[in-house]
Amino acid sequence: MNRDALALSAMLEARQISAVELMQATLERINAVNGPVNAVVSLRDPETLLAEAREVDNTARKGWLHGIPLAVKDLADVAGIPTSMGSPAFSDFIPKADCGMVARMRAAGGLFIGKTNTPEFGLGSHTFNPVHGATLNPYDDSRTVGGSSGGAAAALAARMIAVTDGSDMMGSLRNPAGWCNVYGMRPSWGRIPADPVGDTFMHPLATLGPMARNPRDMAAMLEVQAGPDPRVPFGLPRKSFLDGIDTEVSGRRIGWLGDWGGAYPMEAGVLDLVGDAVQGFAGLGCTVEAVPPPFSAAEIWESWVTLRAFANAGRLDPLYSVPAKRKLLKPEAIWEIEMGRALTSMQIQRASMIRSRWYACAAELFDTYDALVLPSAQLWPFAVDLDWPKEIAGQKMDTYHRWMEVVVPVSLIGLPSVCVPAGFGADGMAGAGLPMGMQLFGRHGDDAGLLQLAQAWHQATDWPNRKPPLL
């Protein structure tokens, strides 16, 4: 279970292993390590899964995922597997059809074994919920994995799966990747279409994306997930991300944003570790420069909180409007909905204007830089029994998600971003050190360029090879 997904795919194609053998090894691994981690939930019946693997062994290959076991984030529908979204309101919901992204993964031959855990409705970067409980960090089981793709990141780190999916509104592919020493990619908005359900025009904040232990697997998964849907606006054309991923990156310019001129409080050691890590790109022939704050952090936050509440109120109001279901919502969800309900049209317009100005400003930055860099989090993985951090470096957090503010400049304007491991810092289990990551982000549409930088970084560092203590 230490092999990469593309390596497993090649072995399956060459019949060096069978899908049954791979499924058996996957189930044995989950049985051995999932108990203390709680990353994979709603695991399907093992005999049914082995029967499906036998069938795969006797059918023509559909794609590179043919025979690869997959666990899908518990916000996305997989036919026949519960989609709880971490909420008691949906604890018994079993979809009859795949969502669009899952359908593409199935068409490429993936075998779905269950789900990966997530916070309730994906709200908050700490994976716990009243349906499946908390997911623990494989590098220190007293700490969080982050979220909302926390179960996915932990399952990768613990070698239960080789490649997976996630989603990202406010760092949900980046924060858990950084805290679990794996890779997570938020693609350009429009690269992976959402399902054509409800409003598809007004809320370009969240996106689906891939996660893996190396950039090549992540690029291959992105190729499966990506491509326009004619029923959904703003789609980007299908392209290859794996071809050319090993391109030389010497000569590229990297801008280091640090703590945005002091706007983002950082726990001791985070900025030092990531600051040292980003200088590693100089060793790859890149030019690395410090960049002063390019835009008002306060305005970015104002725009983000407004538009996020607007979006969350829109998607969760049907639950809030039913008193019996409202009682099942966590306080943070109710806060988001009520804030969104109270917004005026002029507040939403102002937030959109700020977003527009920041997008234009960022576009000018990418005339100079190929990528900008920020830490993937402002603090180390915190205690798993804490609902959310109330302060960082002595500064009080005024909302349940303010401590995640460092991811917002990317999310607000839909830029592509790859979280790469930055190394280890603060003490963890048995003094082994806790992981941290850094966000590389670039011009909208330049997903391939970021994957090339990530691949060069991986070849130079291979941080995921530093396995969790439980392994």
* Helix (H), strand (E), coil (C) string for the chain: CCCCHHHHHHHHHCCCCCHHHHHHHHHHHHHHHHHHHCCEECCCCHHHHHHHHHHHHCCCCCCCCCCCEEEEECCCCECCECCCCCCHHHCCCCCCCCCHHHHHHHHCCCEEEEEECCCHHHCCCCCEECCCEECEECCEEEEECCCCCHHHHHHHHCCCCCEEEEEECCCCCCHHHHHHCCEEEECCCCCCCCCCCCCCCCCCCCEEEEEECCHHHHHHHHHHHCCCCCCCCCCCCCCCCCCCCCCCCCCCEEEECCCCCCCCCCCCCHHHHHHHHHHHHHHHCCEEEECCCCCCHHHHHHHHHHHHHHHHHHHHHHHHCCHHHHCCCCHHHHHHHHHHHHCCHHHHHHHHHHHHHHHHHHHHHCCCCCEEEEECCCCCCCECCCCCCCEECCEECCCCCHHHHHHHHHHHCCCCEEEEEEEECCCCHHHCCCEEEEEEECCCCCHHHHHHHHHHHHHHHCHHHCCCCCC
Q: Collect all residues with Cβ–Cβ distance below 8 Å to 349 and sequence separation of at least 6.
A: none
Contact 300, 260 (CB under 8 A): no
d(CA 428, CA 436): 12
Contact 292, 256 (CB under 8 A): no
d(CA 451, CA 272): 24
Q: Which pLDDT value is given to residue 471?
A: 74
Reported as a single tens digit per residue, the pLDDT across 177-192 is 999 999 999 999 999 9
* Helix 297-320 vs helix 331-342: crossing angle, to nearest 10: 100
Q: Which residues of the chain have pLDDT under 70?
A: 428-432
Name all domains of the chain by residue range, CATH numbers in brackets: 5-465 (3.90.1300.10)
Instruction: Give CA 252 to chain center in angstroms.
Output: 25
Q: Which pLDDT value is given to residue 470?
A: 73
Nearest residue to 460 (alpha-carbon basis) of 432, 434, 422, 433: 422
150 residue type, one letter:
G
Torsion angle, alpha carbons of 376, 379, 382, 387, to 10? -80
Of the listed 9, 42, 125, 148, which one is catalytic?
A: 148
Of the listed 172, 303, 411, 417, which one is catalytic?
A: 172
Reported as a single tens digit per residue, the pLDDT across 98-140 is 999 999 999 999 999 999 999 999 999 999 999 999 999 999 9
Of the listed 42, 73, 125, 411, which one is catalytic?
A: 73
**Quick check: is 73 catalytic?**
yes
pTM of the model: 0.97
Q: Which pLDDT value is given to residue 431?
A: 57
Torsion angle, alpha carbons of 83, 85, 86, 92, to 10? -40
Reported as a single tens digit per residue, the pLDDT across 227-269 is 999 999 999 999 999 999 999 999 999 999 999 999 999 999 9
Q: Which pLDDT value is given to residue 174?
A: 98
**Quick check: is 296 catalytic?**
no
